[in-house]
Structure 1
Amino acid sequence: MKMKSVVKLGVVGAASAFLLAACGNSSKESTSKYINWQENSQLPTLDASKATDTLSFSTLNNSNEGLLLNAANNKVKPGVAESYKVSKDGKTYTFNLRHSKWSDGKPVTAKDFVYGWQRTVNPKTASQYSYLFSDVKNADAIGKGKAPVSSLGIKADGDYKVVVTLDKPQDYFKYLVTMAPFLPQSESAVKKFGSAYGTTSKDMVYNGPFKVEGWTGTNNSWNLIKNKEYYNASKIKVAGIKINAQNDANTSLNQYETGQFDSVQLAGAQQVGKYKNSSEYHALKQASTFYIELNEKKDPIFKNANIRKAISLAIDRNEYTKNTLGDGSISAVGYVSPGMSKRDGKDFTEDAGTKTGVSYNLAEAKKLWAKGLKEVGKKSVNYSILSDDTDSGKKTTEFLQTALEKLPGLKVSTQNIPFKSRLNRSQNGQFDMVVSAWGADFPDPISFLQLFTTDGSYNNGKWSNAKFDADVKNAEGVDANNAAKRWNDLVNAEKELMADQGIIPLYHQVQSRVIKPRVSGVQFFPTGASYDFRDATISKK
């Protein structure tokens, strides 16, 4: 991306931010000088090159700072870079850095950005997010081992100027540099901590508004503590945020109502209904989609399109979102989340969305299932479905087990494990069917669609479709600077993914949270890192 628009997609909503605040209370409030915040899962990592999930991204966003920061209304604002400029051809970005420090007192310099980016694209790091650097000069060649890491298109011009060279203009580049994989990294810290780097809060240095403390790598709680070395420390109004991973929704809400939490995520129709009319309630629409991946490499039966389509058609998404989730989330209209991108006044899902791939028709599902079993030479099969051990994760696998066992000859078992373990098993292909989720990193359909190219690092099920690959390649290549053609490429890619049922979309998430009146100024972003505590305040009693 750049200051001037090359591909004008008319993005709306998904990159906007708003303040979480409340005025009124129906439960006991804490008097702590810290914000007490609930999360559903353990923190997976603090290594910016290896983070893959929204919780790690949000924690890194609050404990570190990149060149730019997300801002309201699809804008970016200065981060470590006080200012930047873009060349007329859109391929060279020059970032002018402010004088800032790491939490150990050492200066943050241009070399830290060079090293951090090089470490992420280095094949030895095995970063799943290295693909985001694809348009940075030589990044793809480096990833294939055909060019040295030092040839990456980023250089330090003195201590406080970073110059980035792209192979071609990239409409969303300014959003990318707000993300965790583009953070600066201290080479001395990486070498000091070695293999432990980013695996505990002590094995890390921070250049953001908060430092992470109390995280051992496996425990359920950690703290964001005000970083006195942060260049804007005087503007940080809270002492810190105490975060606790509590995946039992009833326990979490009880702790909220007794004042142990200032904010918790609600689960199910009963909890949402209790608070829906309260000023403490916030329905946070997210540019995210939950879906099922089928492991075609481990279980070749899933290579059969009729099998995949039958599984999808057997799922009543409306019943699932209304009666099982009950949290305001909406049934999937496709893979790409609605309300994120527009062109000529039309939402992307209006152009790309059809009922293909997200419909419920049990009779047709049974016909395709029988046809698929005959084609693969099977009469019955047994498979497991994997998900998180959260309240919604357990409800989801139970619902899917009941729905899918209506297909004659299919026996489904359920597995619910901790989020961090589920991520690891997904990435290593240790599943039959897995409920995954993707939240857009930036407000553009490509953030979703590029995942499922044949060589995509997040294509855990190993679905492959040459036409889909070509559409995505054209959108990022020959049509990158033609708004209309690029849009059509992405529309066609979405339609192909759904027509071939490469994945099985379930729903688009709306996170229902309650937050106490004493807390305000927490920013929420539907894309990228979810939360930003930089402007948070606690009212005085």
Structure 2
Amino acid sequence: MKTNWRLGLLLLILVLGTVLSACGSNKTADSGDAKNNTTAGETNTSKEPESKPAEPQILNWIIASELPTADSVKSYDTLSSSQIEIFAEGLYKIDGDNQTVPVLATGDPVISEDGLTYSITLRDGLKWPNGDPLTAKDFVFAWRRLFNPETAAQNASTYFNIKNAQAINEGNQPVEELGIEAVSDTELKITLEYPDTYFTASLSSVNLFPQNEAFVTSKGEAYGTNSENTLGNGPFVLTDWDGTGLNWVYVKNEQYWDKDNIKLDKINIQVVKEVGTGINLYESGAVDVASLSGEYISQYINDPEYLSVLTLTASNLELGISSNKYLQNENFRKALSLVINREELVNNVLIDGSKPLTGIVPKGIAVNPDTGTDFSDEAGALVVTNVEEGQKHWELAKQELGTDKIKLELITSDTDTAKKTGQYLQSQLETNLPGVTIELSNVPAKVRFEKMMSYKFDLALGGWTGDFDPVSYLNLFFSTYEHNHAVYQDATYDALITKIKTEDATDPQTRWKDLQEAQKFVLDKAVVAPLYQGASNYLVKSKVKGIITHNLGTPLEITRAYLE
């Protein structure tokens, strides 16, 4: 999270890596073309060559971390979403042209005049891999489960625009009062609390995928913890995943509604955390993709199999404000952010096409509805490097806190890129702020997520891929939002975000101004230290065709890929 469509308002880019379908004229990346590189707001448009699929159709793919969950309702990170989208899908998806197109739905929603009611028709004859019919009731079940407080779904508040969702999630109304109704097996009726320009796009989100009630109920708490306890409805079926291992497999779903357009028979997934290891596997022919970072990019940048995608992921130094008394001091927070040289980080450490992040909202997510100016460009550089100014704030902080020595733990994932970023931040903070000591903790992604969601940490290297519009990034600092890891609370900021989500819904220019004001407000308080807008870099075998690139969410879509 993670799209369009703009319904005439904002040009946004994509959802948490939605799956491919046969609908629409999807743009594909021919991995044999050295000019496949894309930038924010663009989708690769290389044309597939006329060719014959090779036999057998088995793709060997690698990813950087273990799978946290296979439960679409409980998914809260882009890694889980990217995998769930291979074996499950929803009513709509974002295609290669960044348009919202129907998948399980037969067409666009019929929207009431007041913008509060959406009527959607499903395809006939949909089935789960076990042969059960897939009906509108499966959406009702999944959505009720999403908001049921017993589920503890961490992304539930993202969809509080659905009628009674918040009240249900807070335990004040029964789940039966949720604004979704199965009018028949193929007819869904959805009711909102207030008009939402981006609601159709949000229906492509992983959290709103259907679930098989009988299967999920029979598995109880074990649902989504391994392949035997998981059931999807997408192009492939998840197999051979024990819940913690570094390998799993996807096999073609013979019950899938569009199976004739799925060319791959199997996808073998392997977790490879070290970039060098992945490249060795790639060069040996053991895998069809390898991730690139740092010095490896310069080695392969002219290789015809090199592919780069500037994503809409914002990488941040997150501050455990609620759990660390020192970080509750605004001068100390400002000092931390001011002494980090983001240009040096992306150009000399990451060296992967990433760009310095000058605000909370990355470049390419939205444009001014009147002028067409990008949100980030209009905001200007709200985050800068100024070591001298940072040291002044450090001196003030020491006086206010009554200490000249502070030790903080920085949690990062255990991937190459995360480790290098952590080491760089450690050097910057300790060198420029004498008396500050940074202890690094490199852990698996799942452990990092858990620590951040416990709200008890000092510093963490986090990232966020928003969905649909700038508020999905700014919402991270709303007092009751699950992913407000700092547990930052400010009544003025909360009121502004609430206004953006409700009152501003029918006034795009006022909404735009309020979005800009909200970003400036939270950065003036140094609640987070934005670092960089990420890029994803790969080597992809030239025999692999039909891949779609996305800027927001999963950079590479592989469900419609095939081997030439």
Quickly name the TM-score band, shorter chain normalised: over 0.9
Match of 1:347 in 2: 374
Q: CA deviation at 1:92?
A: 1.1
* 1: CA distance, partners of 2:206 / 2:145: 13
Q: Secondary structure at the match of 2:530?
A: strand
Of the candidates 506, 513, 537, which is equivalent to residue 531 of structure 2?
506
* 2: CA distance, partners of 1:4 / 1:508: 22
Q: Secondary structure at the match of 1:472?
A: helix
Q: CA deviation at 1:506?
A: 0.6
Match of 1:80 in 2: 104
Match of 1:61 in 2: 85
* 2: CA distance, partners of 1:319 / 1:97: 51
Match of 1:473 in 2: 498
One-letter amino acid matched to 2:502: G
- Give yes or no for contact 2:312–2:553 (8 Å, CA) kept in 1: no
Match of 2:386 in 1: 361
Q: Percent identity?
A: 34
Note the alpha carbon deviations across 1:49-98, whole angstroms, 9 max, x for none.
11111121111112111111111333111111112322222211111111
Note the alpha carbon deviations across 1:185-244, whole angstroms, 9 max, x for none.
111111111111000011011211001111101001111211011111111011121111
Q: CA deviation at 1:459?
A: 0.7
Of the candidates 477, 481, 505, which is equivalent to residue 456 of structure 1?
481
* 2: CA distance, partners of 1:449 / 1:224: 36
Q: CA deviation at 1:6?
A: 6.3
Q: CA deviation at 1:445?
A: 0.6
Where does 1:78-477 land on structure 2 (aligned, <5 Å)?
A: 78-83=102-107, 84-98=109-123, 99-268=125-294, 270-343=295-368, 344-354=371-381, 356=382, 358-406=383-431, 407-442=433-468, 444-477=469-502
* 2: CA distance, partners of 1:323 / 1:370: 29
Q: TM-score, normalised by structure 2?
A: 0.91
Structure 1: runs of 5 or more not aligned: none
Q: Does the C-alpha gap of structure 1 residues 85 and 529 become closer, same or farther in structure 2, counting only changes over 3 Å?
A: farther
* 1: CA distance, partners of 2:509 / 2:335: 34
* 2: CA distance, partners of 1:33 / 1:12: 31
Q: Secondary structure at the match of 2:482?
A: coil
- Give yes or no for contact 1:352–1:492 (8 Å, CA) kept in 2: no
Note the alpha carbon deviations across 1:116-164, whole angstroms, 9 max, x for none.
0000011111111111221111111111211111000000011111110
Q: CA deviation at 1:324?
A: 0.8
CA RMSD of aligned residues (A): 2.0
- Give yes or no for contact 1:15–1:526 (8 Å, CA) kept in 2: no
Q: CA deviation at 1:411?
A: 1.1
Of the candidates 36, 41, 46, which is equivalent to residue 70 of structure 2?
46
* 1: CA distance, partners of 2:143 / 2:268: 30
* 1: CA distance, partners of 2:158 / 2:13: 22
* 2: CA distance, partners of 1:179 / 1:12: 13
- Give yes or no for contact 2:14–2:550 (8 Å, CA) kept in 1: no
Structure 2: runs of 5 or more not aligned: 18-25, 35-53
Match of 1:8 in 2: 9
Q: CA deviation at 1:467?
A: 2.8
* 2: CA distance, partners of 1:427 / 1:143: 18
- Give yes or no for contact 1:132–1:176 (8 Å, CA) kept in 2: no
One-letter amino acid matched to 2:93: L
Match of 1:533 in 2: 558
Q: Secondary structure at the match of 2:505?
A: coil
Q: Does the C-alpha gap of structure 1 residues 260 and 210 become closer, same or farther in structure 2, counting only changes over 3 Å?
A: same
Q: Does the C-alpha gap of structure 1 residues 453 and 3 become closer, same or farther in structure 2, counting only changes over 3 Å?
A: closer
Q: TM-score, normalised by structure 1?
A: 0.94
* 2: CA distance, partners of 1:284 / 1:438: 16
Q: Secondary structure at the match of 1:241?
A: strand
Q: Does the C-alpha gap of structure 1 residues 283 and 315 become closer, same or farther in structure 2, counting only changes over 3 Å?
A: same
Q: Does the C-alpha gap of structure 1 residues 495 and 139 become closer, same or farther in structure 2, counting only changes over 3 Å?
A: same
* 2: CA distance, partners of 1:483 / 1:441: 17
Note the alpha carbon deviations across 1:487-513, whole angstroms, 9 max, x for none.
011010111121111100010001111
